[in-house]
A and B are shown apart, each in its own frame.
Chain A
Amino acid sequence: MARVLMKGNEAIAEAALKAGAEGYFCYPITPQSEVAEYLAKRMDEVGGLFLQGESELAVANMLFGAASTGKRVFTTSSSPGISLMQEAISYMAGAQLPCVIVNIMRGGPGLGGILPAQSDYFQSVKGGGHGDYRLLVLAPSTIQESVDLMMLAFHLADKYRNPVMMIGDGMIGQMMEPVEFPDHYEEPELPEKSWVATGAVGRKPHVIKSLFLDPYMLEKNSWELHEKYDQMKKEEVRYELYKVSAKNKIMIVSYGTTARICQTAIDQLEKEGISVGMFRPITLFPFPEPQIHKEAIKKNINDVLVVEMSTAQMMEDVEKAVLGKKPVNFFGRTGGVVPAPEEVKEQIMMLIEKQKKTKAKKKA
Chain B
Amino acid sequence: MNLSAMRFQPPAISGGIIIIVGGYGSGKSEVSINLARYLVTSQSETTGPVSIVDLDIVNPYFRSREAAKELEKLGITSVNPSGGQFYADLPIILPEIKGTIERREGTVVLDVGGDDAGSRVLGSLANAFEGAEYELLFVLNANRPFTATAEGCLKMMSEIETASRLKFTGIISNTHLLEETNEETILDGLRLSHRVSDETSLPVRFLSALENILDEIDPKLIDVPVLPLNRLLLKPWE
Contact = CB atoms under 8 A, between A and B. Distances in A.
Interface stretch (B70-78, B131-139, B175-183): B175-183
B60 interface: yes
Contacts, number: 74
Given A115-B87, A339-B236, A175 B145 contact: no
26 contacts: A3-B143, A3-B177, A3-B180, A4-B143, A4-B145, A6-B145, A7-B24, A7-B25, A10-B145, A14-B145, A31-B60, A114-B87, A114-B89, A115-B61, A171-B61, A171-B236, A174-B59, A174-B61, A174-B62, A175-B62, A176-B178, A177-B178, A178-B178, A260-B236, A264-B238, A338-B236
B125 interface: no
Interface string B137-168: 00001011110100000000000000000000
Given A174-B61, A340-B236, A30 B25 contact: no
A331 to B, nearest CB: 14
A343 to B, nearest CB: 10
Interface in A30-45: 30-31, 34, 37, 41
A336 interface: yes
Contact of A175 (B61, B88, B144, B176): B61
Contacts of A283: none
Interface residues of A, number: 33
A261 B236 contact: yes
B197 to A, nearest CB: 21
Given A10-B24, A30-B60, A170-B60, 16 more contacts: A6-B25, A6-B144, A6-B145, A7-B24, A10-B145, A30-B89, A31-B61, A37-B117, A114-B60, A116-B61, A174-B61, A175-B61, A178-B143, A261-B236, A263-B237, A339-B236
Given A34-B24, A115-B87, A263-B237, A5 B177 contact: yes
Interface string B92-121: 000000000000000000000000010000
A341 interface: yes
Contacts of B220: none
Contacts of A182: none
A116 B62 CA distance: 12
Interface in A253-304: 257, 260-261, 263-264
Nearest to B61: A174
A4 B178 contact: no
User: Which residue, of B88, B146, B236, has the highest number of chain A Cβ atoms within 10 A?
Assistant: B236
Contacts of A10: 24, 145
A174 B58 CA distance: 11
A263 B237 CA distance: 8
A264 B237 CA distance: 6
A113 interface: yes
Contacts of B59: 174
A261 B236 CA distance: 7
A176 B25 contact: yes
Interface string A77-118: 000000000000000000000000000000000000111100
B237 A260 contact: yes
A41 B23 CA distance: 14
B5 to A, nearest CB: 25
User: Which residue, of A5, A10, A116, has the highest number of chain B Cβ atoms within 10 A?
Assistant: A5
Nearest to A141: B237
A269 B108 CA distance: 43
Interface in A145-178: 170-171, 174-178
